[in-house]
Amino acid sequence: MRGMTGSIVLGAGFLLQPLTGPLAAGLPTKVGQCAETRVAKLESRLVGAPDSGSAISYVNGGYQVSYDMIPGIQGSRRGDPVRLCLISIPSGCPPGDTRGRKYRATNLRTGQSWEAPDAEHMCGGA
């Protein structure tokens, strides 16, 4: 939330930094960078197939998808504040194919974290 002061302390003793700055910052571009954003949309990996895996979109254009049902995604709600960190970028990709970036997301409302890529297939794949 904008203008929020102080930190959020969760029951398990985790300390989350307060949200500061715009919540629609662009996507992180370097491994280790993070951006604060919000959940734009929750969906299943395949339209009309709720058990086909998890998918989540963010207001900053970020997206994560998994063949697995990810509890942290399933427990999220539209509008939840999220810290999205880039944890890996595939190498040897064809020019212009940026698929396969992996992000770690932390829902700042629930405290749950998960890791998932931005596409079902790595760069150069199907």
| Domain chopping of the chain, boundaries | 26-117
pTM > 0.85: no
User: What is the 8-class DSSP label of residue 61?
Assistant: S
Predicted local distance difference test score (pLDDT) of residue 123:
85
| Sequence-separated (6 or more) residues with CB below 8 Å from residue 41 | 56, 57, 78
Residue ranges of the chain whose pLDDT lies below 50: 1-23
What would the pLDDT profile of 73-100 be if each residue is shown by its tens digit? 999 999 999 999 999 999 999 998 989 9
Q: Which helix (H) or strand (E) holds 89?
A: none
Predicted local distance difference test score (pLDDT) of residue 124:
78
Strand partners, 56: 42, 64
* Residues comprising the chain, all counted: 126
Predicted local distance difference test score (pLDDT) of residue 8:
36
